[in-house]
Amino acid sequence: MEADGWQLVEDAADADVAVVNTCGFVDAAKKDSVDALLEANDLKDHGRTQAVVAVGCMAERYGKELAEALPEADGVLGFDDYTDISDRLQTILNGGIHASHTPRDRRKLLPISPAERQESAADVALPGHGPSDLPDGVAPASGPRAPLRRRLDGAPVASVKLASGCDRRCTFCAIPSFRGSFISRRPSDVLNETRWLAEQGVKEIMLVSENNTSYGKDLGDIRLLESLLPELADVDGIERVRVSYLQPAEMRPGLIDVLTSTEKVVPYFDLSFQHSAPDVLRAMRRFGDTDRFLELLDTIRTKAPQAGVRSNFIVGFPGESEADLAELERFLTHARLDAIGVFGYSDEEGTEAATYDTKLDEDVVAERLARVSRLAEQLVSQRAEERLGESVHVLVESVDEEEGVRGRAAHQAPETDGQVLLTSGAGLAVGRMVEAKVVGTEGVDLVAEPLPGPAVTGSAMISEEAAR
């Protein structure tokens, strides 16, 4: 877009076109997306904004339906519009109309066989899968193969897309239908983007996709993640590599070994358990049970006792009995998870679970949600207390006169798993890695005291103004 003459502005009120990236997964996120579109539409009465355009997953998933239900949006662009997004926005800005697409099942756009997908990928829109080569007329930010990406802040952590789509068929999830089948980014593109981010001052990268354990299966090597992680950790300037979203059923010994023994790769396990009662898991079209999940956690902690583990769970799933809920509570009580997300089941249109005739009453789901949420809150607080006396490596993320110095330890992912408050901030700046001893807890958060000696590494990579 910048090559076509567009300029990114800090304040939406200064934009000719406000582009809202939407989420189409859960009701709360959909509501947030609609609220953001309505807020952007208000700018037309107060600022320079002339048009509001919806992009992202909700725009892709609903297309014409969203456009008809939300006339405040001047355009709704699906993934297939991204390649020509500059022309699409110019048309809308000039008062023209771009017909919104009719949604389709994106799983059908790529071959069923993963091995055949890479050859077909060039003909399918895959957001975030742009190659590292820049198009003609765009100067590279650094080196001959800088990624087509722009940083919007100076934070010391950044996400790196590893793959997109999903081949699993969980009965409660609609994501594969609008994100498509699983397809990996090539290792060279992931490495080049990581090198570029390191040059921008990033200290920690977080690998993201719908299912990182499947990485490489469409490239002919299901163990490709095991060989890629050490290469990412060797990138100059990178202090920490984190992998998000792992499927318990796809965990393998070699991957556990790499995640628990590779320097700079944190022993962090974002495991998508969803439940632990066998009957509920089968209804979800998932695998495992309480004892197998606990065995997996024992294996991980035998190799890395301080490993961080988080997971999400759905309660009130159709057919869930009191015995099933008790089994989930048994798992949670013994799992010693660092962070727990609990969600009450609700129908997601287009999913198999929405057709089940064993749904629970909404008040039952709400009661179970409250009950398990209370237990989860107690358990993560207890787990934090278990870390008293541990030494942790903290990546400093904010320095504030009133709130003090805050960062994250290896077992804490950005925004989801709590943070660390350092008792002393003398000489510390955003982007530094500090060794500290845990001396207190505040719920899931830790309070830690920086250790003396050469424990502070790295250097400040953003200005004080940016830090504020």
Q: Binding site membership: which residues?
A: 166, 170, 173
- Six-digit token string for 252: 């393998």
As a whole number of angstroms, the longest Cα–Cα distance in the chain is: 64
> Cβ distance 434 to 399 under 8 Å?
no
Can you tell me the distance from the alpha carbon of 346 to that of 357, in angstroms, rounded to the nearest whole number? 13
Q: What is the dihedral of CA 444, 447, 452, 454, to 10 degrees?
A: 40
- Six-digit token string for 9: 């502005």
- Six-digit token string for 65: 């339906």
Can you tell me the distance from the alpha carbon of 403 to that of 42, in angstroms, rounded to the nearest whole number? 33
User: Phi/psi at 86 (nearest 5 deg)?
Assistant: -60, -45
Using the structure block, give the residue that is written with the tokens 């979800």: 284
Q: What is the dihedral of CA 122, 123, 124, 127, to 10 degrees?
A: 40
In the three-class reduction of DSSP (H, G, I as helix; E, B as strand; rest coil), residue 429 is classed as coil
Binding residues for [4Fe-4S] cluster: 166, 170, 173
Which regions of 10-56 does DSSP assign to beta strands (E)? 17-22, 51-56
User: Phi/psi at 103 (nearest 5 deg)?
Assistant: -60, 150
431: left (phi over 0), alpha (psi -120 to 50) or beta: left
**Closest to 373 (Cα-Cα) out of 312, 423, 431:** 312
What is the torsional sign of CA 456, 416, 240, 275? positive
Can you tell me the distance from the alpha carbon of 385 to that of 47, in angstroms, rounded to the nearest whole number? 50
**Helices and strands (H, E) in the chain, number of each type:** 14, 17
Residue type, 299: T
